[in-house]
Amino acid sequence: MKPISCVAHRTASCKSLRDLRTRLCGLACCITGLLFLLGCDRLPGKPTAADVELEPRQVRNFDVLFGQNCSGCHGKDGKGNGALALNNPTYLAIASDDVLRRVTSKGVSGTLMPAFLKSAGGTLTDEQVEILVREMRARWSKPGDLANAAPPPYAASTPGNSNHGAEVYATFCASCHGSDGKGTQKSSSIVDGSYLALVSDQGLRTLVIAGRPDLPHPDWRGYVQGRAMTAQEVTDVVSWLVSKRVAYPGQPYASKE
- CATH number for the domain including 197? 1.10.760.10
Domain finish residue from 111, 145, 179: 145
Contact between 120 and 65 (Cβ < 8 Å): no
State whether 169 and 137 are in the same domain: no
Q: Is residue 252 part of a domain?
A: no
Q: Say yes or no: 166 and 236 in one domain.
A: yes
Same domain? For 126 and 177 the reply is no
Nearest CA-CA partner of 234 in 184, 173, 147, 177: 173
| Helix residue ranges, H only, 40-161 | 62-69, 71-74, 89-94, 97-106, 126-140
Q: Is residue 111 within 8 Å of residue 257, measured between CB atoms? A: no
In a domain, 16, yes or no: no
Same domain assignment for residues 134 and 212? no
Domain count, the chain: 2
Domain-located, residue 34: no
How many residues appear in the chain?
A: 257
Residue 45: pLDDT band by 50, 70, 90 thresholds?
low
The gap from C-alpha 14 to its chain's centroid, in whole angstroms, comes to 77
pLDDT of residue 182: 96
Q: What is the C-alpha separation between 28 and 44, in angstroms, rounded?
A: 24
pLDDT confidence bin for 36, thresholds 50/70/90: low
Q: Which of 145, 176, 197 is the last residue of a domain?
A: 145
**Residue 25 is which amino acid?**
C
CB proximity list for 222: less than 8 A, separation 6 or greater: 211
Mean pLDDT of 147-151: 91
Q: Which structural domain range is residue 103 located in? A: 56-145
- Nearest-angstrom CA–CA distance, 124 and 135: 15
The closest of 56, 24, 237, 31 to 229, measured between CA atoms, is: 237
Task: Give the pLDDT confidence score for residue 2 in this predicted structure.
Answer: 47
In a domain, 20, yes or no: no
Whether 196 is in a domain gets the answer yes
Please identify, among 145, 177, 203, the residue that sits at the C-terminal boundary of a domain. 145
Q: 1, exposed or middle or buried, with CB in 10 Å at 0-12, 13-18, 19+?
A: exposed
Q: Kindly state whether residues 61 and 140 are assigned to the same domain.
A: yes
Pick the range with the lowest mean pLDDT from 38-52, 123-137, 207-221.
38-52
Residue 119 lies in a domain: yes
| 26 located within any domain | no
255 CA to centre of own chain: 22
Alpha-carbon gap, residue 245 to 242, rounded angstroms: 6
CA 138 to chain centre: 14
